[in-house]
Structure 1
Amino acid sequence: MAGSVTEVSAAQTKKAAAALLKHAQSKSEGEPKKRNLLGDDDEQEGAKEGVYLILTTKKFLADRVVMKPKRITIPHPLYSADTTSVCLLTKDPQRLYKNALLGDEAASKDQIARIIGVSKLKTKFKTFEAKRQLRDEYDLFVADERIVTALPAILGKTFIGHKKLPVPISVLGAGAKGSIARTNKANKGKKPEVSAEDAVAAEQAGVSSRRVAAEIERTLNSATVVLSPGVCTSVKIGYTTFSPEQIAANVTAVMGALAGGEKPVVKGGLKGVRSVYIKTADSVSLPIYLADELHDADDVKAEGEEVVKKAKGKDGKAIKKGKTEEAEAKAEPKAKAEKPKAEPKAKASPKKAAKAAETAPEASPEAAPETKPKAAPKAKTAPKAAAKAAPKKAAPKAKAAPKRKRE
């Protein structure tokens, strides 16, 4: 099966979208809609309901959890620039960004409803109730890309569960990133080369309101996806108020970003996709693409081919191929050296038994009782050759030792 994205049939997508929208409309008219505790506030009124694309893959999408939403530009946006309230989360100091982005001459003053610094976010919105109120107050959250990885631990499950993690944007101009990075690197030493005032001035000069306005505009026209170490993910692609053609166009755009291009997010491109569905929050999943083969040709062993098990070390971790060959090469001479060592031990045992038998008569009367029990097992375990080599006088003398002690 070829790996082009055009294999996701547009006709099948439109057919599934039409059926899904018809089902959602009939359900909303037939029975009163229940409040969805996990849904967005704009979906509670019953006017619209979110439509999601469910993607399953043959291999993991990521090796670790990346709490950094990825933007995918779609032709029919989910947000309206006129009605969407945007909250921007920035570094400290908060006043610096307010002056630069909310001033009278700032290009982004009409797009941003509020700016919150990290320190204020930690102190003022520390409780669960405060975080919940902040989450419900704004439709979209964006954050400086330099702090976005630290925000999930601060915002907590109330943002993560409702899929309202801040989308990363760049607040600095094109030429300011390099100079600010050099300034921060210089300040990491014991004796800062740049003063705090100069660093703040450089940061304020580097903040670009035009860049922020363009980044927010792009975010409003995009769908977001969070990758995790699994074989399934979901992307919000529209609402039930969209037409089947609009949903199909958004599906094509999302699939092109995830499974198309030179560097697709899905390993192997469309060959690595197992299935694609569309659904609402409380409907069944309608398939729009199913893979013919569940496994690639490289993953299936040929008939008669042996399965090589991964060698493990003492710590239980897998050893690399080069190291296993070295270990096998070292193990062979050791095994050969251990075999001849066992033979001389068997030959040396009769000589030791004979020496022990010769030295037994010379033992003192006091040591005789102690040597008697030790000599008996040696005579039993020694081979026949050792019994013949032992002198006959040793037996009566060994018996005479206890008689002398009694006298």
Structure 2
Amino acid sequence: MAGDSKSLTTKVESGSPYQLDPSQTLRAASALLKKISGDSVARKDNGGKANLLEDADEEEDSDETATTVWLNVTTKKHIADQRKMKPGKIIVPFPLQSATSPSLRICLITADPQRKYKDIIASERFPAQLSSRINRVLGTEKLKAKYKTYESRRQLFAEYDIFLADDRIITRLPNLLGKVFYGTGAKRPIPVAMQGKPENARDEAGNKRVKLSEGGDKLKRSEITPEALAHEIERAVGAALVHLAPSTNVSIRVGKSSMTADQVAANVDAVVTSLTEKYIPKGWRNIRSLHVKGPNTAALPIWLADELWEDEADVLEKLPEAVVKDKKKRKRALLETGAANTAEAEDETKSTKKSKSDGAEKAARKAALKKQKEESKTAIAAA
């Protein structure tokens, strides 16, 4: 289905419409990078004054002039039932950041004992260029004992650019680090697989291991090698992170202004493919729109849904009947539709009669009180 001249976006001419048109993505990426570059030149021409309102965490790349490119995803229904504290990782063809960047400062949070991982990083087999970027290794016990106060956590937050954490303890960190780290997604710890490969995932016959809850053996893993740990760290640093929340919007960092339009388009395609297959319920059917944008630019559409509903069952053939609050009108409506039964009608009648009798008694009391006042006035005047 091709888009006409009035369409904001174009779609593929053949096959399912639930896929990106590479030409549309490339055009949007090219226009966005051109706009960001033009704004950068304009700022320099105006005296080169820095914008104090810009988020310093947006520029995490070694290239200090690079501006973040975001993919904005709008869905038809909520993506998640509750906020996910563990961010998802999407590996992109062109990493968003290099783990060996000279200005990068990494803090690695590990399961205890931390000495085990310090020795791995200090090993000769671990890349020296990467180990120089890992400025600190923290175990959970030391993290819990040393960073209890709000100020100490703020200081830790400010000291490092990226926080990596063992994926086995990632769900415990919100209680240990608090809202300083989890109030925003700027430096939320990124999960890293810090265990070796499973040794008994299959038996000798090639069958899958029986779960421990079903009477099987406990899963055993080999010790992770320095080369494997370095590979996992590099993948985590360069990945696109997905922070899911109970909403219909999610923004994902997919590139930077120092990339080419082809590189940004390739990253967008990889992120959208992973989102539809793994993170968004119902996949493409639940997506309403996809846009790319910079921190201070308009959002450029790359895909728009033709319908606003996820499933045909969500479309109502007629409007639901309005709820009538007035008792008399509700009784009349029930009688007209045949939904009122004798007991309900009697209850309505009784309540109406009761309200009338209550009104009569109230009027009688008012009349008696008025008569007493008049008699009192007459007696006072006669005296």
TM norm structure 1: 0.61
- Paired residue secondary structure (1:275): strand
Whether 2:40 is the aligned partner of 1:28: answer yes
Query: Can you list the C-alpha shifts for 1:172-201, whole angstroms capped at 9, x where unaligned?
Result: 2123799xxxxxx9xxxxxxxxxxxxxxxx
CA apart distance, 1:6: 6.5
Summarize the alignment of residues 31-46 of structure 1 with structure 2, pairs less than 5 Å apart: 31=43, 32-35=49-52, 36-37=54-55, 39-40=57-58, 42=60
Summarize the alignment of residues 172-187 of structure 1 with structure 2, pairs less than 5 Å apart: 172-175=195-198
2:242 maps to which residue?
Answer: 225
Query: Can you list the C-alpha shifts for 1:194-227, whole angstroms capped at 9, x where unaligned?
Result: xxxxxxxx99x83543332221122233211111
Q: Is the 8 A contact 1:3 1:271 kept in 2?
A: no
2:25 maps to which residue?
Answer: 13
Change (3 A) 1:3 1:168: farther
Change (3 A) 1:19 1:39: same
- Counterpart residue type for residue 22 of structure 1: K
- Counterpart residue type for residue 112 of structure 2: D
1:265 maps to which residue?
Answer: 279
Change (3 A) 1:136 1:4: farther
Aligned length: 285
- CA distance in 2 between partners of 1:214 and 1:177 (Å): 23
Q: Is the 8 A contact 1:54 1:278 kept in 2?
A: yes
Alpha-carbon RMSD across the aligned residues, in angstroms, is: 3.4
Whether 2:79 is the aligned partner of 1:57: answer no
Change (3 A) 1:38 1:153: farther
Q: Is the 8 A contact 1:274 1:291 kept in 2?
A: yes
1:95 maps to which residue?
Answer: 115
Whether 2:302 is the aligned partner of 1:288: answer yes
CA apart distance, 1:277: 0.9
Q: Which structure has more helix as a fraction of its residues?
A: 1
CA apart distance, 1:128: 3.8
CA apart distance, 1:304: 5.8
2:193 maps to which residue?
Answer: 170
TM norm structure 2: 0.65
**Rg comparison, structure with higher value:** 1
Q: Is the 8 A contact 2:123 2:226 kept in 1?
A: no
- Paired residue secondary structure (1:216): helix
Query: Can you list the C-alpha shifts for 1:271-292, whole angstroms capped at 9, x where unaligned?
Result: 2100111111222211111111
- Counterpart residue type for residue 167 of structure 1: I
Q: Is the 8 A contact 1:38 1:162 kept in 2?
A: no
- CA distance in 2 between partners of 1:91 and 1:177 (Å): 22
- Paired residue secondary structure (2:27): helix
CA apart distance, 1:42: 3.9
Change (3 A) 1:43 1:172: closer
2:179 maps to which residue?
Answer: 157
Unaligned ranges ≥5, structure 2: 2-13, 44-48, 202-211, 213-219, 324-340, 344-383
Query: Can you list the C-alpha shifts for 1:245-268, whole angstroms capped at 9, x where unaligned?
Result: 1111110000000014xxx32122
- Paired residue secondary structure (1:303): coil
Unaligned ranges ≥5, structure 1: 179-184, 186-201, 310-334, 339-407
Change (3 A) 1:74 1:151: same
- CA distance in 2 between partners of 1:289 and 1:301 (Å): 22
Q: Is the 8 A contact 2:59 2:66 kept in 1?
A: no
